[in-house]
């Protein structure tokens, strides 16, 4: 078995082929383009890599320096803020102590009775400090007893507030509340409260002293510390749980609140991300992320108070400054580099142009030879197809002459020559098979396509395949469920399968396994396959000796064979390839020495709307008569045949069957005869060859007769027909040369009966 690709045109290698190229092969200067190209490429790579490496190192170092500077400035800033907050909270603790001493051992009623004096004292104690918003005294029940802003105090109770509950129950010594709206007299300035317990001398709980601190005081300090809106940094004062008490800008990023939570876990890390020691959970520096941005956050606890100061430096600001510096570095470094790159690139381009011109100059002769060789190969294949078709046509006429005379001898009584006639008939069948292969290779074999179920068809071919393979080899059939139907010429498909089975048998002289498988395949344009659409793939695999690459490349070449003389014609695989192409598909082959051969046939899926072929003339499809005797009143047949000997044999056969024959050498003469016999009324049937000399061929004759009022039945006889598809548009019956007289007799009897039925009506 052989290849799925025709051999590529081979360039001539004789002295005559090369003599015209002598001028191109002498006096050519040598150019080492490879060395020059490598040198320029190395220079280009160096001119690209070295500046890029330098810029990368400088950019990385600059980024690290900027991050370290940002880390340092946040740590220094947060230390200043921590010292400021510590002074405020220490002062606040002193104020709490003075107020506790002021109302020591006074019960709630006494405090209410002395509210006026206590109010003045509270106002005197806290009024001189800008951070203090108000001072309040609460009783043991949580009721407000006195306040530095209001006299008399309105009714208020904090019995359920977290800070009061925590101090009353002894859970905390000093409590700092969340940020809340301030008193109305301060225009609702946000404040946060610091509270301590007030106890009697016996240690019993007497209430709570609360100092409200202004968040705006801290905001203003942070603004001044950061330098206003010119800096990208942010600062905040937060509780240990991350609640923000004061910040600048007024709306801090989420990272500042999260920094306090990070501070509580900072003790787990030995060092910060920037190499700064994190001594404990009270101070450190972390990188906090929120959304698509991140910040460098430094934090410190304010003394032993449950509050932290945090300073954040957004990395986006670092990157922005870094990008600006990097752009300057890029321009200064790559401006001259780009000029150098362009020079080298232009040199490479010029070198490529020179090399291309050199290659064109060197390859001009070989290219011309290749084109001329391909043209000669194409002409050779075209001439071969024409020659094969012409020879096959003439050979079919010879076979027709032999066949008709053999059938005449049998009809006229040649019983004593049965053996000789049987030998001639066997030779006729072999000749028919050879002619059919020749016409298939030449693409001139008429195809009679029909829709078939591959699964059912392969089931009926098992015995045929086993017979072709012989007894030594085993057959395996694997069919995919739901296999699509295909539309092909069944006879040509069977011939292709027989050719493949015989090739497999010859490739496995000691026996082997021949596998036939079928499955559905869909190819799209992007698959890179020569076909697109739905196809049924029928694969034939053998375990034979396989083919060498040089044999595989010529596998589908007509008349090429590696078999011994008399064992092969070189037409088997070309017939397979030609059949698949003419069916709208493709045949491929894959083989290696010792690995067997695989041939795959891709045949197009039948369309759902494939209509049956147009029925022939009613007289041509009428049921044949039961009797084998000649008709009592035979038909008047107009026989149109350009070959005298074929016409003589066919006329004798028709006369033997009891029919009258009028002979015409071509279609033009036939039409003239029909016109001369009362518009054809004297003829019952026209039997015509398809290919004839003259203005009209047999198909033209059938089309002309169909347009006439008196439509005559037409039988077309052919050895090959390139225009056979045209017969589907006319009511004709087509017989292949050489035809069997019994088949012709059956058709003629049907026409005879149809004529008699019309006459009876």
d(CA 344, CA 30): 23
Q: Is 566 left (phi over 0), alpha (psi -120 to 50) or beta?
A: left
Residue 504's nearest CA partner among 603, 591, 601, 602 is 591
User: Could you give the 3-state DSSP secondary structure of residue 638?
Assistant: strand
Burial of 310 (0-12, 13-18, 19+ CB in 10 A): buried
Q: What is the DSSP string of 515-575?
A: EEEEEEEEE-GGGT-S--EEEEEEEEEE-S----HHHHTTTTSTT---SPTTT--S-HHHH
User: Could you give the 3-state DSSP secondary structure of residue 200?
Assistant: coil
Decide if 89 contacts 302 (C-beta within 8 A).
Answer: yes
d(CA 209, CA 164): 10
Residue 190's nearest CA partner among 126, 256, 237, 240 is 237
The pair phi, psi for residue 234, each rounded to 5°, is -130, 150
Q: How far is CA 131 from CA 84, 137, 178, in A?
A: 12, 18, 16
Residue 173's nearest CA partner among 185, 188, 163, 184 is 163
- Give 4's contacts (C-beta < 8 A, 6+ positions apart): 555, 556, 577, 586, 587, 588, 589, 590, 599, 600
Decide if 645 contacts 401 (C-beta within 8 A).
Answer: yes
pLDDT for 229: 74
Mean pLDDT in each 10-residue stretch from start to end of the chain (761 residues)?
A: 37 36 45 83 87 88 90 91 91 87 84 86 84 87 86 85 82 77 70 86 85 88 85 87 84 59 47 42 78 81 88 87 86 84 88 82 65 58 64 69 72 66 69 63 60 82 78 84 84 81 82 87 78 86 82 69 60 74 82 84 77 50 46 79 82 83 88 73 83 83 82 80 65 76 80 78 66
- 721 DSSP 8-state letter: -
d(CA 544, CA 473): 10
Give the pairing type, strands 714-718 and 732-736. parallel
d(CA 391, CA 435): 9
The pair phi, psi for residue 476, each rounded to 5°, is -130, 135
pLDDT for 2: 40
What is the length of the chain? 761
d(CA 78, CA 459): 91
């Amino acid at each position: 078995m052989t290849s799925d690709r025709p051999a590529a045109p081979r360039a001539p290698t004789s002295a005559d082929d090369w003599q015209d190229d002598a001028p191109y092969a002498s006096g050519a200067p040598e150019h080492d383009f490879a060395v020059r190209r490598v040198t320029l490429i190395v220079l280009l790579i160096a001119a690209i890599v070295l500046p890029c490496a330098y810029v990368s190192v400088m950019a990385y170092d600059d980024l690290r320096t900027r991050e370290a500077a940002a880390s340092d400035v946040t740590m220094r800033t947060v230390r200043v803020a921590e010292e400021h907050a510590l002074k405020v909270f220490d002062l606040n603790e002193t104020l709490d102590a003075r107020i506790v001493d002021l109302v020591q051992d006074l019960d709630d009623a006494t405090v209410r009775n002395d509210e006026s004096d206590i109010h003045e004292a509270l106002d005197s104690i806290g009024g001189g400090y800008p951070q203090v918003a108000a001072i309040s005294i609460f009783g043991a029940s949580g009721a407000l007893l006195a306040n530095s802003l209001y006299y008399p105090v309105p009714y208020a109770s904090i019995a359920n507030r977290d800070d009061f509950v925590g101090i009353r129950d002894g859970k905390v010594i000093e409590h700092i509340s969340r940020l809340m709206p301030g008193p109305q007299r301060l225009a609702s300035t946000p404040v946060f409260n610091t509270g301590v317990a007030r106890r009697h001398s016996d240690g019993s709980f007497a209430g709570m002293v609360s100092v409200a601190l202004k968040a705006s005081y801290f905001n203003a300090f942070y603004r001044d510390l950061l330098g206003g809106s010119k800096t990208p940094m942010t600062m905040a004062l937060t509780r240990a749980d991350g609640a923000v008490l004061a910040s600048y800008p007024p709306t801090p990023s989420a990272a500042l609140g999260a920094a306090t939570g990070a501070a509580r876990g900072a003790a787990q890390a030995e060092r910060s991300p920037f190499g700064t020691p994190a001594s404990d959970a009270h101070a450190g520096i972390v990188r906090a992320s929120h959304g698509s941005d991140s910040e460098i956050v430094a934090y410190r606890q304010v003394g032993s108070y449950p509050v932290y100061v945090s300073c954040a430096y957004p990395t986006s600001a670092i990157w922005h400054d870094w990008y600006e510096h990097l752009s300057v570095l890029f321009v200064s470094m790559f401006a001259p580099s780009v000029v150098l790159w362009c020079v080298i690139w232009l040199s490479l381009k010029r070198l490529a142009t020179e090399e291309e011109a050199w290659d064109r100059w060197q390859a001009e002769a070989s290219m011309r030879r290749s084109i001329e060789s391909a043209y000669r190969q194409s002409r050779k294949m075209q001439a071969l197809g024409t020659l094969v078709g012409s020879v096959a046509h003439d050979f079919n006429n010879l076979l027709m002459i032999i066949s008709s005379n053999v059938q005449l001898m049998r009809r006229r009584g040649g019983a004593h020559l049965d053996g000789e006639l049987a030998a001639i008939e066997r030779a006729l069948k072999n000749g028919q098979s050879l002619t059919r292969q020749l016409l298939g290779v030449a693409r001139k074999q008429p195809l009679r396509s029909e829709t078939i179920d591959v699964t059912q068809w392969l089931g009926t071919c098992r015995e045929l395949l086993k017979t072709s393979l012989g007894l030594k080899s085993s057959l395996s059939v694997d069919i995919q469920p739901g296999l699509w139907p295909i539309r092909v010429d069944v006879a040509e498909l069977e011939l292709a399968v027989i050719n493949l089975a015989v090739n497999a048998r010859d490739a496995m002289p000691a026996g082997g396994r021949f596998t036939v498988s079928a499955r559905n395949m869909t190819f799209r344009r992007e698959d890179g396959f020569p076909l697109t659409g739905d196809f049924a793939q029928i694969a034939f695999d053998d375990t034979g000796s396989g083919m060498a690459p040089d044999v595989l490349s010529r596998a589908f070449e007509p008349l090429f064979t590696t078999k011994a003389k008399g064992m092969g014609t070189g037409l088997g695989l070309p017939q397979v390839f030609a059949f698949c192409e003419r069916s709208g598909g493709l045949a491929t082959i894959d083989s290696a020495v010792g690995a067997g051969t695989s041939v795959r046939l891709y045949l197009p899926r039948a369309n759902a709307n494939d209509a049956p072929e147009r029925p022939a003339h009613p007289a041509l499809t009428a049921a044949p008569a039961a009797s084998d005797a000649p008709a009592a009143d035979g038909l008047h047949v107009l026989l149109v045949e350009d070959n005298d000997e074929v016409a003589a044999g066919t006329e004798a056969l028709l006369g033997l069957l009891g029919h009258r024959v009028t002979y015409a050498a071509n279609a033009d003469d036939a039409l003239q005869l029909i016109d001369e016999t009362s518009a054809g009324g004297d003829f019952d049937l026209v039997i015509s060859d398809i290919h004839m000399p003259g203005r009209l061929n047999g198909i033209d004759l059938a089309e002309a007769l169909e347009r006439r009022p008196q439509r005559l039945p037409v039988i077309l006889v052919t050895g090959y027909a390139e225009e056979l598809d045209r017969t589907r548009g006319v009511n004709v019956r087509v017989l292949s040369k050489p035809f069997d007289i019994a088949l012709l007799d059956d058709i003629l009897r049907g026409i005879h009966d149809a004529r008699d039925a019309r006459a009876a009506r």
